[in-house]
Amino acid sequence: MAWNTTLSNLLRAPLRRLIAAWVELRLIEPLPERLALDPECPTLYVLPHPALSDTLLLETLCARHDLPSPSQCMRFGDLDLRASVPLPTTSRRFGQRSLFTPPFTRLIEYLATHPDEDIQLVPVSVFWGRAPGKRFGLWKLLAADSWQLTGHVRRALSVIVNGKNVELHFGAPLHLKALLDDRPSEVTNRKVARLLRVHFRRARTRVLGPDLSHRRTLIDGVVGSPAVRQAIVEVADAEGLSRARIEKRAWRYGREIASDMSYPVLRFMDSLLEWLWNRLYDGVEVRGLESVKALAGEHTLVYVPCHRSHIDYLLLSYVLYRDGLMPPHIAAGHNLDMPLVGSLLRHGGAFFMRRSFKDNRLYGAVFNEYLHRLLSRGHPLEYFIEGGRSRSGRMLSPRPGMLSMSLRSHARLFADATGHARGMVFVPVYIGYEKVLESATYLRELKGYKKRKESPLGLIRVLGQLRQPFGRVAVNIGEPLHLDAFLDHHTPQWRRQCDLSRPPWLNHAVPLLGIELARRINDAAALNAINLVALVLLTTPHRAIETRVLIRQLALLVALQRRLPGGRHTSFPDGKPEEWVTQAASLGFIERRDQALGELVLADAAQASLLGWYRNNVLHLFALAGLTAFAFRNNTRLRLEELLDLLAPSWPVLCQELFISTPRSLESSLRDMLEALVEQGLLEYRGDAWKRPNGQLEANEQLQLLGGLVQPTLERGFLLLTTLLRQPSGSLSREDLIEQSRQLAERLALLSGLEAPEFFDARLFTGLIDSLHQEGWLWLEQDRVHYGQALEQGARKASALFDPALRQRLLQISTPQPAQASSSAR
C-alpha cells in the first residue's frame, strides 16, 4: 500500500491544480463565512465516501476562503490524522470486502483523557451534476451524480462532464466532545457515524430528491394498484365493456397525467430561465428559504404558492433548483399540455390534471393513485390551492380537490406505516410581481371578454413582450404548516380513522386547511413600488394626486407596516418613496405631469384598472388600519369601547374575505393601531377617547386616504346587505343575490366615474356571501339565502361607519327605480 500512497501524493498537487482550473461551484451552502467554525477548535472534515475529486475540490475551496486546510496533518497525542476523512463504507477489491474505518474511536479515546480539548466535525457533501438517479441516456448515466456510489471511471467522467455544475454543501459543525458519554468508545464511534450518515442521507434527499422510477414503471404500478384495478372492474361492468379495454383507458390516463422529469431538461431550463429572468426582471428576491432547507430531506414538502401568473410554474422551480433544493413535481392544468410547451413542462416535472373529473371514476382513481405514489416516495409537490390564476389580484377561495387528495394519501400512508409515516409539511409561498406578463389579458377578462385558450401562438405573443421592463419579483416563504400537528389540533380523531377510504373528518379538515394556508400565504406578502403606489392613488376621487402628497402617504403606509405588520413574513421594498414613484412611472402605470403649483401623478382609466390588480395583492395588510381610519370619517371622537362596537360586525367578515390571520383580541389590536396612528400624528388621545386633530389639514387628508383603502370593500358589503334585507328571509337565491348585488356595484361604478371592472366582479360577491355564511350571519336552505335578526342588527351597526352623505348615495343606488319596479310587477 506504500507505493499507492506515494503515487497518490505525487499526483495530488497537479490534480488539485486541474480541479481548481476546471471546476466551477454553482452553489456553496452555506457560504463559508457563515459556517461559524470555532477558530480555537481543530476541524475535521468528513466526506460521505472516499473520493479524491471531492477531497481535492474541498482543499481548493478552503484555500480560497481561508478555512482550515483539509490536507493538513493534525496530531492528537501519538495519533497523526489528515484533516479530512471519509465515512465507513464497504467496497470490493479483487473479490474481497474491505472496510474503510474513520479514526473516530481513537479520537474519542483521546478526548476522554483530555477533557479540556475538543474536535469539530464538519460534514461535506459534493454533488456533481445533481441527477436524481434516473436513466437519462448512456453518457449522462455514466457522468451524472446519483444515489449510487460512483466508481473511479464514472467519477472521472463526472468531473469532466459536470465540472461547471458542482454544488458543495457544508453541514453544521458537530462537536465530538458533546457526544461523549459513559459507554465504550466503539459504541460512541458507531453513534457518531450513524449521525453523520443520517445527515448525508438528508442532504442527498434535499438536493437530489428521492430516487426516480422510470415513467413506464411508475404508470405500470399505478394501473396495477388495487384501487385502480377495482375501478377498472366497476367501470367495465357499468359500461358493458371488457376489462382489457378499460385497462387500456387507464393506461392512457396514466400517460396523460404522469410527469417525466428529466435531468438534462432541468439543466436546460435552469439556463433558459436564468436568461429569461435576467431579460424580463431586474432581479428575483427570495426570502425565508432557510426554513425549507431545514425541513427538506426529512419531510415530504408540498409547496402551495399563490397563483398570479403562468410564470409561477417556472419561477418557484428555478428558485429551488438555484438554491440547492430538488424542484417539485407540479400539478398543472390540462390546458397547458399543448404541443411543444406541454412536453417541456412534463420533462421539467409537471403532471397534468383535468379541471374536473368528479364524474369520471376511472380517471379519478388513476390520478389519486399517481399522487399517492409521489407522496409515498417523498417527492416534493407543488400545486395551487386557488385552482386558477387570480384575475382580480386577490387571494381566491381555496379549492378542496388537491388538498383533499393529499390528506387522504397522508392518512393512507399513516395507516400503512402503523403510525410512523413520513411527516408532510405544506410550504406557503407568496410570489409578488411589480408587473405580470398577463396584465393586459386580465384587464380584458375583467371587462367581460371570454378567456382565450392557451396555445403556442399565445406563448409567442407573450414572448414578444420580452423587451418591456417588468421590474422585480419577490418570492417569500411563509410559515410552514406541519400537517400532523394541524390535524391533531382540529380533528384529533384522525389517527383512529385513517384506515378508512374516505375518513369522516375530511370534510371538516379540508376547508380549515385551505383557509389556514391562504392566510399563511397572505402573511408573507411583498410590498413593492407598484402595489404601494396603487394603494394610495386609487383612494383619490379622480385618480390624481400631488406628488408630494403621494410620497408622504407612501412613507406613512410603510411606517405603519413596520410598526404593526399586517403579516408575520411581510417584506418591504428597497429605496425611498421618491424612487418608488419613479419605478411606477418607468413601468407605465402612472403619468407624471408638471404643473405650475407642483408635479401631479395621474392614472388614466386603463392604468387605474391595472393598478387595482396590484393593490388587491396587498390590501389585506392594511385592512385594520384602513377600517380604523374609516371609522373616524363619520366620527370626530371615539372611545375604544365605541370603536370596538362599531367595527366588531365588519372585522370578522373582512378577515374571512381577505384571508387575514385573525388577531387573538380585536380590542388589543385596535388599541395598538390607535397608538400607531397617534404616533404618526393622524389622531390625538384626549381623556379616554381618540379624536381627529383640529386644524391639521394634512393629517386629516392622510387619515381620509388611509380610510379609502377599505371603502370599496365596505361599499360592496353595504350593497349586498341592502339587497338582501329588502326582501324577506329566504326570498332570494344565492345566484339572484350575487347578480343583483353585482348590477348595483356596476351602477355605482358608472355613476362615480370609476373605471374598475374588478369592483363589480361577481366572484367578490360570491366570496362575501361565503364569508357571511362562515361567520353565521346567514345560511342556505334549498339554495335560498336566509338570515335572522343578528344580520339586521349587524347591518345597522356597520352602516353607522358611513357618513350620512355616502350612506344616502348608496341607498339611492340600491333603491329600485319605478321602471324596474313596474317591470318586476309584470
Residue with cell 384495478: 229
Coil, strand or helix at 426: strand
Q: How many helices (H) and strands (E) does the chain have?
A: 34, 26
User: What's the half-sphere exposure (Cβ side, CA atoms, 13 Å) at 717?
Assistant: 27
**How many Cβ atoms sit within 10 Å of the Cβ of residue 15?**
16
Most confident of 168-182, 272-286, 743-757: 168-182
Question: By mean pLDDT, which of 464-473, 640-649, 713-722 is the weakest?
Answer: 464-473
pLDDT in tens, 559-579: 999 999 988 899 999 999 999
What residue type is assigned to position 299 of the chain? H
Mutual angle of helices 226-239 and 243-257, in 10-degree steps:
130
Which cell numbers hold the place of 799? Answer: 352602516
Distance CA 220, CA 213 (A): 11
Q: Which residue has the higher pLDDT, 119 or 129?
A: 119
Taking the C-alpha atoms of residue 160 and residue 21, their distance in angstroms, rounded to an integer, is 12
DSSP per residue, 61-123: HHHHTTPPPTTSEEEETTEEEESEEEPP-EEEETTEEEE---THHHHHHHHHH-TT---EEEE
pLDDT band at 67 (very low <50, low <70, confident <90, very high): very high
d(CA 184, CA 219): 50
Q: Which letter does DSSP use for residue 327 in this model?
A: P
Q: Which of 282-291, 298-307, 752-761 has the lowest mean pLDDT?
A: 752-761
What would the pLDDT profile of 741-786 be if each residue is shown by its tens digit?
988 888 888 887 766 777 888 888 888 898 898 888 999 998 899 9
pLDDT of 483-501, one tens digit each?
999 999 999 999 988 877 7
Return the exposure string of 594-626: e unless at least 16 CB atoms fall within 10 Å of the residue's CB, then b: eeeeeebbbbeeebbbbbbbbbbbbbbbbbbbb
